[in-house]
Structure 1
Amino acid sequence: MRQKPSGRWEARYRDDRGRLRGKTFATKVEARRFLARVNADVQRGDYVDPRGGKEMFGSLATAWLASGLHWKPLTRRRYEGVLTSHLLPEFQESPVGSIDRHGVQEYLGKLVAGGLSPGTVRKIYAVLRMVLDTAVETRALRANPAIGVRLPKASARKMLVLEAFQVEQLAVEVGAPYELLIRFAAWSGLRAGEIAGLQLSDVDLLRARVQVATSVADMGGALLRGDTKNSRVRMISIPADLRDEIAAYLNARGVTGAEPDAALFVGPKGGPLRHGNFYSRRFRPAVGRALPPSLHGLRFHDLRHTCASLLIANGWHPKAVSDHLGHASIQITMDLYGHLLDSYHDALVARLDEAYGNARRAADRPQTDHTGPQADHETAPTPSSSRAVSRNEKHGRKAS
């Protein structure tokens, strides 16, 4: 600490990275108090760069995007979309140090009042929080002002599943060329993006198996191919009849093995399958016509839930269901479909009851009396009589 020619006092210190810093004050007392406070912060690991809070949110967001080297292309595009459409128009020219919890809460309330769904607001909030986490990591902020705010409650959506006959009704109502797409979705359990990403080389018609390796998303009209949700490649089995329908479908399109990169499912004119167009123009109207009112809220993703229900109803073990659906862990499967596993448990108990009853009846059944030409001869001794003979012989007596 030193006094400058101007009469002001300069407090000099080293930050948490060892860099020399300084700040001037009108009095020596103010400078001393500042130094004590800064040194304590450095010792506790709570030091905040006084200049860091002046960085604009837009600049910080750009740095955050550049740091996401591990993100999938689809994830990056979604984050960029949230920043461009929502966060930058609101915070781009705001110093990060001026953003407080009250301001974040007020902003979220404005989004809800503007008609955005709770789910969408939560996604915007998640990006905002991650950007501000970067400010904490770089010591621009002591704490993240987005932590602790109240989020709109996402309403729990009832899971809808179809019976096998309803899958067929919906497929027929959707009509060509999408009938097979509906059947495939309900009996394979693939996500919409995974279905769009399937190529001819992914289908093993001989063994009725399908490799799930990529996913396609429509981002602002651009179809982006990337990894599956958990970046895992899995192999699933499909019913033999469904395999035969796929073979007939490909034959009708004139697709051969010489085109391994050809898409398995295409649009009505042979172009790329765009899920958004199919969903609004064909799927939703067909749901309203083919299914009862209680199922009019059915989404395409509910066909994935339908597959889980069909697998469980046919006795698949939860771990097999988890692997088939491509869940990151069996716990996800149990959380989603635990209520459907009651029937699976009941079937196992019934089989256990049957096994127990068969064993008891077999034990209570009288032994068959074997008679024949040797009936008058001396029979072989039983284990108990053999032991008696041995004891008598041991004591020098003959058995009667």
Structure 2
Amino acid sequence: MIRKTERRGQRVLVIDIRWRKPDGSKGRYRRDAQVQTMAAAAAEERRLIGNIAQHGDVHEPKPAAPKEEPEPVSTAFGEVVARYRASFMVTDLKVTSRRGYASVLTSLLLPKFKDRPITKVDGESAAKLDLELTKHGLAKSTRNNIQIVLRSVLRFAVERKYLDAMPSGLPRLKQPEPTILEIPTDEQVTTILGVACPTQRLAFSLMAYAGLRPNEVRALLRRDVVLRREDGEPVGGFLSIREGLSYGEVHTPKTGQREVPIARPLAQVLGPVEKGSRDGHVARSRRGKPWGQYGLEQAFERVRNRAGFAGWSVYSLRHYAITSWLRKGIPVHVVQKMAGHRNLATTQHYVHFLKADLEDAARRLDSGRGDVAGGVTAG
């Protein structure tokens, strides 16, 4: 109800409302009206009674404060790596790549970033890491490999929605230093094969005359060898390079399957291999078992040292095969297929060394031109 009262000589309208609250207790509102006219006071009273009917009180409830959304918790780098290793590394990486990536993750990236949120492993972090590695004297190729593994993990994080996008400002990959190929001469290869024992000679010949990689030598089976004979003597044929064997796991070769012609020297070494199970391994150690992961490298070091060529790697035999094909005039795109190079540029790298050989030959011819001419005149 609304009552009129006098206060200090002025008329005041008082609103006085009584009601029963939802919990049964009595409620009362008695205040001076906010206005002076009776009509306005009546409107104010109706508003207050409406609040009682709707909310159980003359006052409208205060709007609830908006809930603060908790800041999303970023998954730690170490957790992302664990999922990366359990899925992507198994399904998408070659066995040898998997080993290399695991080494980089375990020895460097996890100790550095394991507990850091993946969102905080950004371009600045990668650049600081690269600077540290530079100060420790790591080669460009090694630093590139580390950055490649880090980028692979970050791309995986984007695909799995741990990151919205690849971080900006990642360091550029460095231009690798030009590789100096170790290419032995015909005489040096003959010396190495002559020093090797029969089992070593067979494995090394597959690299020196067919350009196989060590993992392809380890995986080669008898059924992959087709020899061509003349008068009962093996003179040629083809090798089917179907598989590689790395760390005890069989896998597709680095650049896919291919066929390689068998040169006469290799055919003669492979002659006895036709005997035995077609699923048996061609190259075996002295114990009669397939070569282990590092067996060929270690055997070559021993043979190489006995031959007096310290410093070469077993891959020098493969380099010899590729340059031999080029020297014999086999087109570079055919050599690319025989060698199993993914990019023609890799094969052309060998052409560069072949060109150096030709230029050296030209200099030798030029240096002897006067003597030859003199000899002809004198004769």
TM-score, scaled to structure 1: 0.63
Distance 2:188 2:221 in 1: 28
Q: Which residue of 2 aligns with 1:284?
A: 301
Q: Which residue of 1 aligns with 2:80?
A: 60
Q: CA deviation at 1:101?
A: 2.9
135-144 or 205-214, which deviates more: 135-144
Distance 1:84 1:148 in 2: 21
Q: Which residue of 2 aligns with 1:394?
A: none
Superposed counterparts of 1:305-320, under 5 Å:
305-320=319-334
Deviations 1:227-280 (A, max 9, x none): 0002x22111112232122223x3xxxx724x1221111112112212523323
Q: Which residue of 1 aligns with 2:275?
A: 256
Q: CA deviation at 1:187?
A: 1.0
Which residues of structure 2 form unaligned runs of 5+?
1-60, 229-235, 362-379
Match of 2:217 among 181, 195, 206: 195
Deviations 1:286-343 (A, max 9, x none): 3344356xxx432211222211111111111112211111122434322443442577
Q: Which residue of 1 aligns with 2:187?
A: 165
Match of 2:251 among 207, 223, 226: 226
- Secondary structure class of the residue paired with 1:211: strand
Q: CA deviation at 1:213?
A: 0.5
Q: 1:343 to 1:81 in 2, by over 3 A?
A: closer
Distance 1:224 1:209 in 2: 25
Q: Residue 167 of structure 1 contacts residue 182 of structure 1 at CA under 8 Å; is this kept in 2?
A: no
Q: 1:98 to 1:319 in 2, by over 3 A?
A: closer
Distance 1:134 1:331 in 2: 29
Q: Which residue of 1 aligns with 2:339?
A: 325
Residue 243 of structure 2 corresponds to residue 214 of structure 1? yes
Q: Which residue of 2 aligns with 1:386?
A: none
Counterpart of 2:260, as a letter, is I
Distance 2:112 2:270 in 1: 50
Q: CA deviation at 1:92?
A: 1.9
- Secondary structure class of the residue paired with 1:225: strand
Q: Residue 323 of structure 2 contacts residue 350 of structure 2 at CA under 8 Å; is this kept in 1?
A: no
Q: 1:263 to 1:146 in 2, by over 3 A?
A: farther
Distance 1:5 1:234 in 2: 78
Superposed counterparts of 1:1-400, under 5 Å:
8-9=65-66, 23=69, 51=72, 54-65=74-85, 66-67=87-88, 69-111=91-133, 117-137=139-159, 140-141=162-163, 143-145=165-167, 147-149=169-171, 154-206=176-228, 208-218=237-247, 223-230=248-255, 232-248=256-272, 250=273, 256-257=275-276, 259-280=277-298, 282-291=299-308, 296-340=310-354
Aligned length: 292
Distance 1:340 1:288 in 2: 26
Q: CA deviation at 1:74?
A: 4.3
Distance 1:285 1:246 in 2: 23
Q: 1:217 to 1:6 in 2, by over 3 A?
A: farther
- Secondary structure class of the residue paired with 2:178: coil
Q: CA deviation at 1:141?
A: 3.9
Counterpart of 1:61, as a letter, is V
Distance 2:344 2:133 in 1: 36
- Secondary structure class of the residue paired with 1:265: coil
Q: Residue 124 of structure 2 contacts residue 170 of structure 2 at CA under 8 Å; is this kept in 1?
A: no
Deviations 1:69-124 (A, max 9, x none): 34444444443343233322322221112223333233334445566554333222
Q: 1:333 to 1:76 in 2, by over 3 A?
A: same
Q: Residue 199 of structure 1 contacts residue 262 of structure 1 at CA under 8 Å; is this kept in 2?
A: yes
Question: Which has the greater radius of gyration?
Answer: 2
- Secondary structure class of the residue paired with 2:251: strand
Which residues of structure 1 form unaligned runs of 5+?
11-21, 25-49, 348-400
Q: 1:140 to 1:304 in 2, by over 3 A?
A: same
Q: 1:140 to 1:269 in 2, by over 3 A?
A: closer
Q: Residue 166 of structure 1 contacts residue 291 of structure 1 at CA under 8 Å; is this kept in 2?
A: no
Q: CA deviation at 1:138?
A: 5.0
- Secondary structure class of the residue paired with 2:294: helix
Distance 2:286 2:136 in 1: 37
Distance 1:340 1:319 in 2: 15
Q: Residue 129 of structure 1 contacts residue 147 of structure 1 at CA under 8 Å; is this kept in 2?
A: no
Q: 1:237 to 1:276 in 2, by over 3 A?
A: same
